[in-house]
Amino acid sequence: MKATIFADRRFPIGEIDRRLYGSFVEHLGRSVYGGVYEPGHATADEDGFRTDVLELVKKLDVPVIRYPGGNFVSGYNWEDGTGKKEDRPVRLDLAWYSLESNQVGVGEFQKWTKKAGSDLMMAVNLGTRGVEDAKNLVEYCNFPGGTKYSEKRKADGYEEPFGIKYWCLGNEMDGPWQIGAKTAEEYGRLAAETAKVMKMVDPEIELVACGSSNSGMPTFGSWEETVLEHTYPYVDYLSLHSYYGNAAENTAEFLACSKDMDEFIKTVASICDFVQQKLHSDKVMKLSFDEWNVWFHSNEQDKKQEKWTFAPPLLEDVYTFEDALAVGCLLITLLKHADRVKMACLAQLVNVIAPIMTETGGRCWAQTIYYPFMHASAYARGTALQTNVDCGTYDAGRYGEMPYVESIVTADEEKREITVLAVNRSLTEDVEAEIDLGGFKEPKLVRHLVLENDDLKAVNTADAPNTVSPAERKAEGPVILAKHSWNVLVYTY
Ligand code: AHR
């Protein structure tokens, strides 16, 4: 099969915000305890953080990490995670029916994000709490000193303010599963007042209002409209969340799930623009796709999980090779909306629906989905270019007719490098691709990285961590996108 991928330097989509390659750590399962933090572990540093995990995180070059939830945050008292560790209370985590030891709190976690080379994106509890507690948390984190909460931070051993710039105003507040779920009116008012007061404490912060939990929610659309009507002047981003799965065992359809993400982004952007016009505002609302991934493998297992234990193994999806291809298509889709989506978080980072897995007390390794994320984060930088693909199409079930090849071209003018990310969704045929790059002087292919495997269900495990890992093809001759493969083509110019 043949395909042509066209892009032109003169037709950009927009600058790629590095924060598109963010991720997420929630107090959930073994994400924090046994993942990021494990004081007795052979690789633990002086703060109890696993350095083997940190090394894998650093290779992903994650600019921003959302914390501490997720559903967890809607019942969270941030003060429980401050002060002396031995005095911290054990609490019921009602979101995940677990016990929370509070041995890691905002102070410890911001220290960890620094070690990981990331910025912290903090969420406030708008489920059981509100304006007062959010205000105090911003004061604890960001106010220099001389006040109750800034002095408490200093007494906890953090002389310098954390300078946390990005804040989420609650999490999935439209979801009936959410602790303290709200109607759009209730949430919109609360979020607006909380935002206003948080920015009084620190005018430099940027705020994310909750959009719908996913595009299938019954209130999707009207939720966004009402929430934005209340919050528009005070917030900087509206959130989107979406998870995909292949429970139906229909790989051809599953690999087309990026179409859903694409339509979701377009719809939410349109609603934002509608409200902007209605309010006669100059501000263009940015989008924060702060939860996205494949999530379905662990669903049945999680129903059997014993309640009220510390760090239970929850949401531990073991990702297959085809999941990595789906993640590749989703990354390409985010890049196609680089003009509007300015932050995004792969949910999550360690153990919980994550690219990185650990054994508590043992080894850690990269799952299949680690690699497309690492490649995009490393190579798809600079400007996203409008990309058109001329190729065959196939019947992708509920997603309709879909092209075999999904692709985006990016250009890093500083490094004089062009990157083509491409997934060949065909399950049977290789594609010979012509890459037509307009406006660049003699682009030269210098690298061709691939993720391919004969077995769509291949996984990485602690014993076989490299079953699915990238390989380097010779950067010469015709470009072949192997059947069901992820490809990174790097050109210099
Ligand atoms: O990422 C797992 C969960 O998915 C989060 O806690 C919640 O926000 C979403 O429903």
**Ligand 1, atom 6: nearest CA belongs to which residue?**
70
**How many angstroms separate the alpha carbon of residue 24 from the centre of ligand 1?**
10
The number of C-alpha atoms within 13 Å of 112 and in the hemisphere containing its C-beta is 30
Please count the other Cβ atoms lying within 10 Å of the Cβ belonging to residue 130: 18
Here the tokens at position 280 are 């006669």
Q: 3-state SS of the chain: helix, strand, coil percent to 5?
A: 30, 30, 40
Looking at residue 140, what is its pLDDT?
A: 98
Which of 38, 291, 322, 417 is catalytic? The answer is 291
β-strand 341-347 against 22-24: which pairing, if any? parallel
Question: Rounded distance, CA 452 to CA 32, Å?
Answer: 31
Q: Which residues are CB-contacts of 44 (< 8 A; sequence separation ≥ 6)?
A: 38, 50, 51
| Side-by-side strand order, sheet with 383-390 | 471-473, 444-452, 485-492, 417-424, 405-412, 383-390, 2-15, 431-438, 479-481
Q: Is 227 helix (H, G, I), strand (E, B) or coil?
A: helix
Q: From CA 35, how far away is CA 345, in angstroms rounded?
A: 18
Q: 60: which 2 tokens?
A: 């992903």
Q: Which of 218, 123, 238 is nearest to 174 (CA)?
A: 218
How far apart are the CA of 484 and the centre of ligand 1, in A? Answer: 29
- Among this protein's residues, is 26 annotated catalytic? no
Taken as a whole, the chain contains a residue count of 493
Cα(75) to centroid of ligand 1, in Å?
Answer: 14
Task: Find tokens 């002087």 and name the residue.
Answer: 441
CATH code of the region 17-379: 3.20.20.80
Global pTM exceeds 0.95: yes
Average pLDDT per block of 10 residues along the chain, 493 residues long: 97 98 98 98 98 98 98 98 98 98 98 98 98 98 98 98 98 98 98 98 98 98 98 98 97 98 98 98 98 98 97 98 98 98 98 98 98 98 98 97 98 98 98 97 96 98 98 94 98 97
* Residue closest to 288 by CA, chosen among 205, 244, 346, 233: 346
Q: Which pLDDT score, from 0 to 100, does residue 355 have?
A: 98
Q: What local confidence, expressed as pLDDT, does residue 477 receive?
A: 85
d(CA 294, CA 312): 20
| Centroid of ligand 1 to alpha carbon of 445 (angstroms) | 40
Q: What are the domain boundaries of the chain?
A: 2-8+385-492, 17-379
Per residue, what are the HEC states of 26-49?
CCCCCCCECCCECCCCCCECCCCE
User: Distance (Å, rounded) from C-alpha 269 to C-alpha 202?
Assistant: 27
Annotated catalytic residue, options 38, 172, 224, 406: 172
Other CB atoms within 10 A of residue 361 CB: 10
Provide residues with CB under 6 Å of ligand 1. 26, 69-71, 171-172, 291, 347-348
Q: Which CATH superfamily is domain 2-8+385-492 in?
A: Golgi alpha-mannosidase II (2.60.40.1180)
Angle, in degrees to the nearest 10, between helices 258-278 and 222-231: 40
**192 neighbors 152 (Cβ within 8 angstroms):** no
Which H or E run includes 412? strand 405-412
For this structure, is 172 an active site residue? yes
